Structure 1
Amino acid sequence: MALAKLGAVALDCPDPGALAAFYAGVLGGTVEAEGDGRWVDLRLPEGGTLAFQAAPGYVPPKWPAADASQQVHLDLTVEDLDAAEKEVLALGAKVLDAEDRRRGWRVYADPAGHPFCLCAC
């Protein structure tokens, strides 16, 4: 028996609405802002929630860097890496790892600097 159920994965960022819009463009879903916009939920089509929280003085993680660790990242599975890459770049992502384009994943940063991977399914 589980002790708890995952409610959401929350990312700190400087602009929750903008980052929620980025991930809505990548994953689909419905953006729901609460109150003053310092907390925004993205309700995902398959269930679950990705949340975004305003963090004063936010400093993005560096990848890879032992002194400014990423702490957590999202692995997003896609059918076509090349097509998905074009779309996330158009939405504002930045390439973090362009070394080996033949492997089954690629590393990017979202507009707030959080690392995420596109992974071939």
Structure 2
Amino acid sequence: MGNTAVAKLGTVVLDCPDPDALARFYAELLGGEPKGGDDAWVDLDGYEGTPLAFQKAPGFVPPRWPAPEGSQQFHLDLTVDDLDAAEERALALGAKPLDAADRGRSWRVYADPAGHPFCLCAC
């Protein structure tokens, strides 16, 4: 009995109220350029990593972190060389700290401007 994959991961798509604004946030954080044809979908083009896209979601409600019950659904782990410098840049771009108080850890948790959790990891 073999382990034959049915599919491969193509793109991670984040639902949000403003795809262009969120794409610009991640372009500044990860590199690349927002590329989209309309206000409903924007791709992050030209950066190294798993493809990211941003989709307009009417009635979007951001995940809660930490969730009192259940789970946060998912989060992005972003690898950085300098945690303090990456934190400063992410905050300047509009990220909000969710759990960045423990300065002794090699990771810190933030929310992007639409409320999706992500970690900066110097691991």
Assess same fold via TM > 0.5.
yes
1:67 Cα offset (Å): 4.1
Q: 1:79 to 1:47 in 2, by over 3 A?
A: closer
Q: 1:119 to 1:47 in 2, by over 3 A?
A: closer
Q: Which amino acid letter does the alignment assign opposite residue 2 of structure 1? A: A
Match of 1:95 among 94, 97, 102: 97
Superposition pairs for residues 10-21 of structure 1, below 5 Å?
10-21=13-24
SS of 1:85's equivalent in the other structure is helix
Cα deviation, 1:57-78, whole Å, max 9, x if unaligned, reads 1111110013474201000000
CA RMSD of aligned residues (A): 1.5
Q: 1:60 to 1:47 in 2, by over 3 A?
A: closer
Find runs of 4+ consecutive structure 1 residues off by over 4 angstroms. Answer: none
- In structure 2, what is the equivalent of residue 3 of structure 1? 6
Number of residues paired by the alignment? 120
Q: Any unmatched runs of 5+ in structure 1? A: none
Cα deviation, 1:31-63, whole Å, max 9, x if unaligned, reads 1112x2201111252253101110101111110
- In structure 2, what is the equivalent of residue 78 of structure 1? 80
TM-score by length of 1: 0.91
TM-score by length of 2: 0.90
- In structure 1, what is the equivalent of residue 113 of structure 2? 111
Choose 1 or 2 for highest CA Rg: 2
Equivalents in 1 of 2:53, 2:34: separation in Å?
9
Q: 1:33 to 1:49 in 2, by over 3 A?
A: same
Superposition pairs for residues 27-106 of structure 1, below 5 Å?
27-34=30-37, 36-67=38-69, 69-106=71-108
Q: Percent identity?
A: 71
